[in-house]
Amino acid sequence: MDLQELYQEIIVDHSKAPRNHGPLDGANRQADGDNPLCGDQITIYLDMDGDVVRDVRFEGKGCAISTAAASLFTEAVRGKTRDEVEALCASYLAMVKDSDALPDVDALGQLAALHGVSRFPMRVKCATLAPHTVLAALRGDGATSTESEDA
């Protein structure tokens, strides 16, 4: 199996059986995310212990890319500090917006599976909804939209 097939398998798995899906009792941060072009809508719930993400969950509806990205992000940010989450989001966003960029698998882990989305500009907003919403929840902004984001 080549790397692209493995990445495709990860995306399909997370879109069909998303991890950390559902509300989070005791969440002390949350944000709603919206991608009006595709109809994706998610809510990210964070349970922060100081600067550390103690627990995270999401709910909503969206396409396979949006759902897989939310599932992968909830797995990736649990246990990380605010600074680590912000760095992860920055690295991920740079990767999906630049098709020439090689993913830093060490930094991104399974999120690197979404690298191929960069070749499909209309899907980039689907893949970036989760990190933008995670960042909004961290900041306490409450809501975010990919509508004005540059693809």
Q: Which pair of tokens denotes residue 120?
A: 């499909």
- What local confidence, expressed as pLDDT, does residue 79 receive? 97
Taking the domains of the chain in order of start, what are their residue ranges? 3-142
Q: Is 46 left (phi over 0), alpha (psi -120 to 50) or beta?
A: beta
- Does the pLDDT at position 125 exceed 60? yes
Determine the Cα–Cα distance for residues 39 and 123; give it in Å rounded to an integer.
12
**Per-residue pLDDT tens over the stretch 6-26:** 778 999 999 999 999 999 999
Architecture of the structural domain at 3-142: Alpha-Beta Complex (3.90)
Q: Report pLDDT digits (tens) over 74-102.
A: 999 999 999 999 999 999 999 998 878 78
